[in-house]
Amino acid sequence: MFYSKKRFSEFLKFGGYSQKDVLIHKCRARLMRPSFAIVRDQNSKCFLLFIRGAISTKERLTAAASVEVPFHHIVLNEGQIDNVILGYAHYGMLAAARWIANLAIPLLHSAVREFPDYQLKVIGHSMGAGIGAILTYILHEHYDFTSCTCLAFAPPACMTWELAESGKGFITSLVNRNDMVPAFSKVAFESLRSEVMVSSKLDDLQDQDHLSLFAKISQRVALAKSHMLSISHSVGKTADSDPSISEPLLKQAPEIITPEANRLNIDCSQQRADVAANLEHDFSAVSVATSEERIILVDKDDFASAKTVTESCCASQGDVDSNQVLDTEEASLETKEEAPSLTQNGAGKEKQKEPPSGPGSRQLFPPGRIIHMVAQLPLEPNPGEGTSSNEIVSIYETPRDLYSKIRLAPNMIDEHYMTSYISTMESLLEQLQSEDTVSTAPNDL
């Protein structure tokens, strides 16, 4: 009720509290100043400190201030400093936690002296869970609050590894199904972005290689055709260069112009034969160099067309090793021509394994002991048994490094809201009650 948009009076009525049980309530959230309340619960003999998540725009700006700043936790043992845990924390959540601590600590000192048998519990959801976890570290540095505990629903990644590990004894983080917020951090987001970009670039490079091969072959053919057309055009101009010879004269005096025309035809045929011989010599040089000397005698620009001709020649000769030599030579030439492209193509998989981290970027993790609720369909579904949704809900204590990477799922946002957490917990409680009933039935008999 407190994490919903309903009025605070309805929350008090739902929990059975009166206005006298409220130590402090800040309903309007501002930048770095979230909405929170401290309530005295007589049934559990606890002071409950509730911190709401990001609902308004200013609260979302607090969550967006994700710069990592130094945050050190002093561990007390019987009132004496026993250890100091060095680390970093989320700037916006740390600032909000210190603001709440300045307001709440004087009130809590007075309340604990008045009710010494009461415990202090911090409860938060989403951004409020991260603020509550950091606030619990701050409260533990005071001797009166060393027994303070925190229950964090859907906590974000808000602190570095050492700090998160040191809070296992007094912080419990609860994660629902495919909720992505506990794994969402700047480093994890950059890693996901890098993987998506690398995979798309690999696809683009493959398409670009196919298109460049087509373009080089087409360019080679077009150059050959244009060269042949230019030769024919020049021959035509040579035949018509003498203006004194007209068409009737050519018809009337064939004996006079026949030797000159024959010489022009011989020159044209000779030039065409030379061009054909040069092309054939280039292609034959590629074939001989591939099959015998293993050296490609072509330019880099003509490599694609030479490769096509050479592969056809090697196939007709039954040479199996020539394909491997061509691949080796192609790799060496592409390395010299397109070094950046080859680096992206060859080292793509290595980049996926190494998450990018800019200067000063640090991986953040959810705090404390992490409990994950997982739902799955039964192997043999039976509508008459189990929960109403026929799902089996299990809880696991999961390792922290599981939340160093964002895992995409269709419902990863919907399962972050408190209504989804309540639904999963109700299913889990219903399942546990049915299991207890089955286990105690033989004992009753």
DSSP 325-339: HHHHHHHHHHHHH-H
pLDDT bracket for residue 439 (50, 70, 90):
confident
Where do the DSSP E strands lie in 223-368? Answer: none
Percentage above 70 pLDDT, the chain: 60
CB 133 within 8 A of CB 367: yes
pLDDT digits (tens, 9 = 90+) for 263-311: 544 455 555 555 455 545 444 443 434 444 333 334 444 444 444 434 4
Structure confidence at residue 202 (pLDDT):
67
Helices (DSSP H) in 36-76: which residue ranges? 57-64
Strands 119-125 and 149-153: parallel
CB 151 within 8 A of CB 126: no
Which helix (DSSP H) or strand (DSSP E) does residue 50 occupy?
A: strand 46-51
Neighbouring-strand partners of residue 371: 174, 397
Taking CA atoms, 175 is separated from 44, 359, 388, 411, 428, in Å, by 24, 30, 22, 14, 13
Whether residue 333 has pLDDT greater than 70: no
User: Which of 4-13, 107-116, 227-236 reaches the highest mean pLDDT?
Assistant: 107-116
Sign of CA dihedral 168, 169, 171, 176: positive
- What is the model's pTM? 0.64
Taking CA atoms, 105 is separated from 118, 142, 147, 152, in Å, by 15, 9, 14, 20
Per-domain boundaries in the chain:
5-189+363-380+387-439
Classified as helix, coil or strand, 172 is strand
What would the CATH number be for the domain defined by 5-189+363-380+387-439? 3.40.50.1820
